[in-house]
Amino acid sequence: MSKISANLHNRAPRSGLEVMKKRVGEVARQRFYNIWKRVRAYRKYDMFDESELEAFHAFAKGQCYDTFVKLFYEPLFCVGEKRLEKEPFGPCRHGVCFNHVEQLDLTELEKLDLDHKYPFDDTMDLWHEIGSERPRQGRAWHAGINRQMLCHLLFGFTSTFRSHSADPWATALSLRCNAPVGEVDKCHTTIKDQKGWKVTEHMLRG
């Protein structure tokens, strides 16, 4: 093999890795945006003007987006099922994991769903409840709210290893697999979020 051919051969894996990194980045950004769409669609009480929701989005993106996306480039795995309230996580019986450096496609990553540690609806309801203490006209999204904690509860994908921690600043999002053949078998908790963790007024009030 000539020196030029050898150089081309050596560059090929790096080119493939760059393509994979780009695709992983696209998935990560879409996952973040999906949570934002869920927040925006939660118009149960129509508490805030559109401009205030956009202001919250900008703040949350500034607080959480870079860390959120960056973690998708680390080895990812299903943290396992949550069997009963306050019971330790059971190991994933399906061995679902993803490492963009080692895998050639996104099949395993697509099997991993994000679960909120603190139920999404509870966080949104408490946010709106605290906000409703202010007059509707001119109400700011962050009125009476710990802004950093609110963003963390909704977008805080900070580590895949500490999801069982009682520390409210531990990761607020966990990865669980959705892939097993049997619906009952999968670790992902679908729309119900995790049970056994309760967002409190003390956590969210600023």
- Which single residue is written with the structure tokens 């900070």? 158
Phi, psi of 94 (to 5 degrees): -110, -5
Query: 17 is in which domain, residue-wise?
Result: 3-204
Report which of 126, 156, 200, 154 is spatially closest to residue 37, judged by C-alpha positions.
154
Q: How many structural domains comprise the chain? A: 1
Which residues, 6 or more positions from 146, have their beta carbon under 8 angstroms from its beta carbon? 203, 204, 205, 206
Question: pLDDT digit string (tens) for 87-133?
Answer: 455 677 788 889 988 888 898 999 898 888 888 999 999 999 998 88
Task: Tell me how far apart the alpha carbons of residues 91 and 78 are, in angstroms, rounded to a whole number.
Answer: 8
pTM confidence score: 0.82
Residue 34 C-alpha from the chain's centroid: 9
User: Mean pLDDT throughout 25-29?
Assistant: 96
For residue 183 the two structure tokens come to: 């619906």
Taking the CA atoms of residue 84, residue 93, residue 77 and residue 88 in that order, the dihedral angle to the nearest 10 degrees is: 30
Q: Is 113 helix (H, G, I), strand (E, B) or coil?
A: strand
pLDDT at site 181: 57
Question: Cα dihedral sign for 79, 83, 85, 88?
Answer: negative
Q: Is 89 helix (H, G, I), strand (E, B) or coil?
A: coil
Whether pLDDT at 9 is above 60? no
Q: 78 or 169, which is more confident?
A: 78
